[in-house]
Amino acid sequence: MNNDQTEGLNMETGFFQVDEVMPGTRAYELYLEFRYEVFCKELHRVVPPACPLSSTGQPMETDQYDQHSRHFMSYHKATGNPAASVRVIFPNPIGLNVSPRYIIEYPLPYPGAGDNNIGEISRMAISPLFRRRQEDRNKPFQGDPESEMSRLPDNHRHHQPELVLGMYREIYILSKQLGIDYFMAAMENRFSRLLKTLGFPWMSIGPINESVDPPRRPYLLSVAEMERSLSQRETCILSFLQAQEAGNAARNNINNQTN
């Protein structure tokens, strides 16, 4: 994808909003309910030993890594419907979720990557309401659901990656706040190739695990390399990722000057 193709995306007036959800809140319960609906009930990718119930009696999907994570939900602005979820596991004493389930080949491609600065992008899920087509159900690149799902023929739908990019912006901001320089994730090859076309240079760091469905392999992303790649290929996506960070920095400067 080149800059001419991505300039058509109006990312600042998008169709989705992304909120961080905090443990102990009803929003957090809804987030865990969403994870159960997608990962356990629909896709059968996660089989928890026991499912706690929310305050309304709905099953929730959670594990030992949640207490070491930050959690985000994306909502469709027009309807308020939950659209997607993701969590970021930050460096912690019990390690990352990807480590015990996949073979990680060492040394890693980046000499500076270590246990203290590698996080994990995990539990990224897309609601069935916002997937483009049935055959694309494992390709979570979405845009305006109305135009993508109803107004255009199946083979002519525009691939607006706004939904995933909105979550990646929160991940990028979090990386700057917490000093996470690298991220691991387990992905299908097809998903990783699609991310690479957007300028996200995920690198394979291990073989495919055929025992998971669908088969996936571990990947590593350097935040600095991502910035370099996007600055050369997809400047509008880099600007989108950095817009909120720049706004937060400006507000912090104002607050410091007035205190």
Which residues, including other chains, have CB under 8 Å from residue 156's CB and lie 6 or more apart? none
Question: Does 23 fall in a domain?
Answer: yes
Domain that holds residue 39: 15-150
Asked whether the predicted pLDDT for residue 6 surpasses 70, the reply is no
Q: Which pLDDT belongs to residue 173?
A: 94
Question: Does 36 fall in a domain?
Answer: yes
Query: Which of 241, 110, 255 is CA-nearest to residue 174?
Result: 241
CATH number at residue 133: 3.40.630
Query: Which of 158, 168, 155, 179 is CA-nearest to residue 237?
Result: 168
Residue with tokens 């695990």: 209
Q: Which pLDDT belongs to residue 203?
A: 96
Mean pLDDT calculated for residue range 188-199: 83
Question: Does 190 fall in a domain?
Answer: no
Dump pLDDT digits (tens) for 29-46. 999 999 999 988 888 888
Q: Is the peptide bond before 214 cis (omega within 30 degrees of 0)?
A: yes
Mean pLDDT calculated for residue range 40-65: 88
Compute the mean pLDDT over every residue in the chain, rounded to the nearest whole number. Answer: 81
Question: Does 127 fall in a domain?
Answer: yes
Between CA 38 and CA 174, with CA 65 as vertex, the angle to 5 degrees is 90
Q: How far apart are CA 220 and CA 163, in angstroms?
A: 21
pLDDT band at 13 (very low <50, low <70, confident <90, very high): very low
**Contact predicate 111/97, CB 8 Å:** no
Q: Give the total number of structural domains in the chain.
A: 1
Question: Does 221 fall in a domain?
Answer: no
**Contact predicate 219/207, CB 8 Å:** no
Q: Which pLDDT belongs to residue 161?
A: 67
Which helix (H) or strand (E) is 83 found in, with range? strand 82-89
Radius of gyration of the chain (CA): 18
Question: Does 252 fall in a domain?
Answer: no
Question: Does 76 fall in a domain?
Answer: yes
pTM value?
A: 0.81
Mapped to the 3 state alphabet, what secondary structure does 118-171 carry?
EEEEEEEEECHHHCCCHHHCCCCCCCCHHHHHHHCCHHHCCCCCHHHHHHHHHH
Q: What is the dihedral of CA 140, 27, 252, 166, to 10 degrees?
A: 10
Question: Does 182 fall in a domain?
Answer: no
Q: How far apart are CA 150 and CA 32, in angstroms?
A: 29
